[in-house]
Structure 1
Amino acid sequence: MQVQTHPLEPFFHQAVRNSYEGRLGLSPEITGYVSHMLCDFAESENLFRLRDAKGRPIEKLEEMVRASDPILGTARSFIAERSIRKYIGDYALFLAGMCPEAIESDPNSDSKKPTLADLIRVGKESYYVVSQFNVFEYEKEAPLYGQLSNVFEHCILGLAIARRDLWRAINPPAPVH
Structure 2
Amino acid sequence: MEPESNREERSTIDRFFRGLSECIFHSKLGVADVQMVDYVSDLLLRFTRIDETQRVRQPDGQPATEVFQMLCEAERRIGLARRGVHRHIGDFTLFWSGMYPESLRKTKRGQSCDEFLDYCKQGKRAYAIAATIQGGDDRPSSEVLMQMSEQFEMCAYGLREIRREWEEGAGGESGLLLG
TM superposition score normalised by structure 1: 0.82
Residue 23 of structure 1 pairs with residue 31 of structure 2 = no
Separation in 2 of the partners of 1:151 and 1:21?
15
- For residues 10-56 of structure 1, the C-alpha deviation after alignment (integer angstroms, 9 at most, x for no partner) is 10011111221222222111110110111111112111111112211
Whether the aligned pair in 2 keeps the contact of 1:104 and 1:111 (CA below 8 Å) is no
Give structure 1 stretches of 5+ with no counterpart. none
Aligned residue identity for 1:123: G
Residue 164 of structure 1 pairs with residue 170 of structure 2 = no
Separation in 1 of the partners of 2:158 and 2:97?
11
- For residues 68-125 of structure 1, the C-alpha deviation after alignment (integer angstroms, 9 at most, x for no partner) is 11xxxx22x221100111111111111111122321268x943428469711011101
TM superposition score normalised by structure 2: 0.81
Whether the aligned pair in 1 keeps the contact of 2:135 and 2:141 (CA below 8 Å) is no
Distance 1:101 1:140, change over 3 A: closer
Q: Give the aligned CA root-mean-square deviation in angstroms.
A: 2.9
Residue 132 of structure 1 pairs with residue 137 of structure 2 = no
Distance 1:109 1:139, change over 3 A: closer
Whether the aligned pair in 1 keeps the contact of 2:68 and 2:114 (CA below 8 Å) is no
1:14 maps to what in 2? 19
Percent identity (aligned)? 23
1:94 maps to what in 2? 95
Equivalent pairs counted in the alignment come to 168
Give structure 2 stretches of 5+ with no counterpart. 175-179
